[in-house]
Amino acid sequence: MVKIDADRLLNDLKRLRSFGATGPGVVRLALSPVDLASREWLVGRMTEAGLDARIDAVGTVFGRSRKSGPALVIGSHTDTQPTGGWLDGAMGVIYGLEIARALAENDATKHLAVDVASWIDEEGTFSGLLGSRSFVGDSIDESIRGATNRQGQRLADVLDAAGLAGRPRARFEPGRQVAYLEPHIEQGGRLEAAGQAIGVVTTIVGLRELRLRFTGQRNHAGTTPMAIRRDAGAALVAFIARMNDAFAQLADADTVWTVGRIELDPGSLSVVPGAADMYLQFRDANAVRLQAMQARLAELVRDFNAQGGVSVELTSIDEPMEPVSMDAALAEHLARAAEAVAPGKWLRMPSGAAHDAQVIARCMPACMLFVPSIGGVSHDFIEDTAEEHIVLGCQVAATAAAAILQEQWARRP
C-alpha cells in the first residue's frame, strides 16, 4: 500500500492556511491579492512535486503530470467564503499534491499519473464554480464580462490586472484524464454523529435559488390601523410559516430549505414596509422531489395572491442545479480503500453541499470522499477537523487513487 507523509501533508495545509489567516479561520476570497499569492505558492509546491504547474486564464491552478498513460485528476478549491474555514476546499487540493508525491515515491506506483487542480471561485465571489465550468468547456465568456464581486469589481478587470486574461485555460483532455476525485470535509455533522471517519459520497444534491418579492403599501407605523395595513413584511413572515408546513410534508430526512436573506423597504422602525424580498434556497438529492417543492411553492404563491392585499412574485435567481450521482465504480474503489485503511469506520452518504465534482462529472467519471467536520460546522472561522481524520482521509484517498489508476493501466491494450 502506498504511504502518505502525514507531516508533509499537515505542514502544507498549515502553510496554505497562513494566506489570509484570520483568527482560527481564513479570508481568502477568489482573486484577491492574498488568494493570488497563495496560488503562486501552490504553483511552486506543485512544481517541486514534479508537476507542470501554472495559473490559467481564469485563475485555476493546474498541475499536470509529466507521466504517460491514464491520469487521475484530484482537486478542489482554495478560495474561501468571506468568513471561511481553513479546510473547506483547501484540504482536497493538498490531498492531491500529497498523493501525487506519495505515488511518485513508491516503486510500485511511481509510473502513475496524477494531475492536481485548485479550481477558481468555487465559492462564488464572482461566478460560482467558474474554474471547473471553464475546464469542462462551458461558455464562460459572458460570465467573465458580467460578473462582479460585492465591492463592484468586474471579474474581467480583476483577471486583466492580475495578468491572467491572455493565458490559456486548463481544459479536459479526453482519453488521457480518465477520472476525477475530490476529497473534502463533510461540512455537516453526520459522520461525527455516527462515530465514523470516512464518507463515500453517493450523490451531490440539486438546488433551487429563488426570490419572492412581496408588494404592499408603505405607510406610517403610528397612524395606520392594523386592520387596513398592507404590510409586506408581515405578509412575508406569514408566507414562510405556510411554506415550512408545505415543504415538511414533501421532505425526507435529507431535504433542506433556507431563507438566507430578507430585505424590507424602507427598513425603518416607523414605516410599515411597502415591499419585502426573501431569498430562498432548497436542496435535495431527488430530482422529482425538487420539482415537487417548486410546484408546491408556485401553488402557495397563487393562493396567496388570490387573497388580495399584499401580492407576491416568484422569480428564479440562477439556473437550477440538478442532483448528480457519483460514479459507482469509483465509489467502490473508495469503499474498498476505506475498509482497508479504516475497517468499519466509513459509510455511504449524499453531499448536501455543491462541489466542483458535479461539474467535472459531465466530462469524466467523478467521485468524492468526506472526512468529519467537528461539530458539523463549516463556512465559519471555527471550522475544523481532527488531524487524525485529515491524515486518515488522505491515506484512504491515496489507496483508492492507486487502485483506480492501476485498474486503468490493466485495461490498456
Is pLDDT of 16 > 90? Answer: yes
Residue 237: in which H helix or E strand, if any? helix 232-250
* Structure confidence by residue, pLDDT tens digits, 320-360: 999 999 999 999 999 999 999 999 999 999 999 999 999 99
Q: Which residues are annotated as a binding site for Zn(2+)?
A: 77, 88, 123, 184, 379
* Structure confidence by residue, pLDDT tens digits, 366-400: 999 999 999 999 999 999 999 999 999 999 999 99
* Structure confidence by residue, pLDDT tens digits, 135-159: 999 999 999 999 999 999 999 999 9
The CATH code belonging to domain 6-205+323-411 is 3.40.630.10
Q: Cα separation of 413 and 369, whole Å?
A: 30
| pLDDT given at position 1 | 85
Grid cell locating 212: 419572492
Domain range list for the chain: 6-205+323-411, 206-316
Instruction: Give residue 167's pLDDT band: very low, low, confident or very high (50, 70, 90).
Output: very high
Is pLDDT of 413 > 80? Answer: no
**Which residues are paired to 140 by β-bridges?**
none
Is pLDDT of 98 > 80? Answer: yes
Q: Which residues are annotated as a binding site?
A: 77, 88, 123, 184, 379
Taking CB atoms within 8 Å and a gap of at least 24, the contacts of 332-338 are 333/367, 333/400, 333/403, 333/404, 333/407, 334/200, 334/367, 334/369, 334/396, 334/397, 334/400, 335/200, 336/400, 336/403, 337/396, 337/397, 337/399, 337/400, 337/403, 338/198, 338/200, 338/369, 338/396
Q: Cα separation of 34 and 20, whole Å?
A: 6
* Structure confidence by residue, pLDDT tens digits, 239-285: 999 999 999 999 998 899 999 999 999 999 999 999 999 999 999 99
Instruction: Give residue 318's pLDDT band: very low, low, confident or very high (50, 70, 90).
Output: confident
The answer to whether 192 and 373 are in contact (CB under 8 A) is: yes
| pLDDT given at position 319 | 83
Instruction: Give residue 286's pLDDT band: very low, low, confident or very high (50, 70, 90).
Output: very high
Q: Domain 206-316 adopts which CATH fold?
A: Alpha-Beta Plaits (3.30.70)
* Structure confidence by residue, pLDDT tens digits, 34-59: 999 999 999 999 999 999 999 999 99
**Please, where are the H alpha helices in 82-215?**
90-104, 130-135, 141-146, 155-161, 190-194
| pLDDT given at position 297 | 98
Is pLDDT of 298 > 90? Answer: yes
* Structure confidence by residue, pLDDT tens digits, 199-249: 999 999 999 999 999 999 999 999 999 999 999 999 999 999 999 999 999
| pLDDT given at position 356 | 98
| pLDDT given at position 75 | 98
pTM more than 0.85: yes
| pLDDT given at position 412 | 81
